[in-house]
A and B are shown apart, each in its own frame.
Chain A
Amino acid sequence: AQSVSQHNHHVILSEAASLELGCNYSYGGTVNLFWYVQYPGQHLQLLLKYFSGDPLVKGIKGFEAEFIKSKFSFNLRKPSVQWSDTAEYFCAVRMDSSYKLIFGSGTRLLVRP
């Protein structure tokens, strides 16, 4: 069955540390890839997305993600996190031409000031 895995459920970092959150999916066809962020008490917001072209995608707030097709991965990175990055991060995959999004289980990031 198609699935999306986020292996880190909880991550705690100090400010200015670098961040990398893993996302892997299981599907051999064409995919569109997304990272969403949910700040405390707020709705899901799109951080970045990959459809085609350059596999290194830049998003808002200094985030980026790299699509590595051979590894079925789309890891999220940020060189230097801030306290305001404390949130839950969801990876999502859309497979072929379907509009359906399949979400990973989420990663809770806590950045200590």
Chain B
Amino acid sequence: GAVVSQHPSWVICKSGTSVKIECRSLDFQATTMFWYRQFPKQSLMLMATSNEGSKATYEQGVEKDKFLINHASLTLSTLTVTSAHPEDSSFYICSARGGQGDNQPQHFGDGTRLSIL
């Protein structure tokens, strides 16, 4: 089946640091990638949707300048948390879908646990 690789799986860093998370589709071309955030015991909340080669579409309440998304190729999207603070600590999950049809499912990465000290 389709595989989405997310890296790193866990990162701990100091407040004020910028952190980059990569999301790769390993065996298919991802025309659309999604970034989610999951707080403990809560649901996945969509942060943004990115299509290859175009600017990401952010959900209401998500700061574009804080969470920079780049989808430069059909197999790679990155999320950069700029000047991260403890409140940004969370579990970040990416997903990817290929093709244009409505029936194309989203395939999920394993997630990245971000801890800001």
Contact = CB atoms under 8 A, between A and B. Distances in A.
User: Do A and B assemble together?
Assistant: yes
A99 B32 contact: yes
A76 B32 CA distance: 28
Contacts of B41: 9, 105
A103 B49 contact: no
Interface residues of A, number: 22
For the side of the interface on B, what is the size category? 20 to 34
Contacts, number: 43
B108 A43 contact: yes
A101 B46 contact: yes
Contacts of B97: 99
Contacts of B32: 99
Contact of A103 (B4, B44, B103, B109): B44
Interface of A: 4, 9, 32, 34, 36, 42-46, 49, 51, 90, 97, 99-106
14 contacts: A4-B43, A42-B110, A43-B4, A43-B109, A43-B110, A51-B102, A51-B103, A90-B44, A99-B32, A99-B49, A100-B49, A102-B46, A105-B42, A106-B43
